[in-house]
Copies of this chain bind each other. A is one copy, B any other.
Amino acid sequence: MYLAKVYVTPRPTVNDPQGLTIKGGLEMLGFENVKSVRFGKYLEIRIDHRDRAQAEQQVREMCRQLLANPVIEDFRFDLEEIEP
């Protein structure tokens, strides 16, 4: 069994309205040292696989097909073996 921790972030050149909104909210609360906020998704996916390479391949496919929009988002992930 593997646990994939997937991070999906807006590409550096892409506008990030959610991040900007949160930055504005933090400033209104008095956090004036905040220089930038980028807002992304974080997923924890448990996969029943014995083989690490296959699990990795599968998570990459999941990101490409469903979890990330490759036009505006980047993804990366870590894979760790866990007890079933």
| With A26-B66, A29-B66, A66-B22: A39-B43 Cβ-Cβ less than 8 Å | yes
| With A22-B66, A26-B66: A31-B58 Cβ-Cβ less than 8 Å | yes
- Contacts of A33-47 to chain B: CB distance below 8 A: 33-47
CA distance A49 to B35 in the complex (A): 10
CA distance A25 to B34 in the complex (A): 36
Across the interface, A40 reaches (CB within 8 A) one of B19, B42, B46, B62, namely B42
B residues within 8 A CB of A80? none
- Please report A residues at the B interface, Cβ cutoff 8 Å: 1, 7-9, 19, 22, 25-26, 29, 31, 33-49, 58, 61-62, 65-67
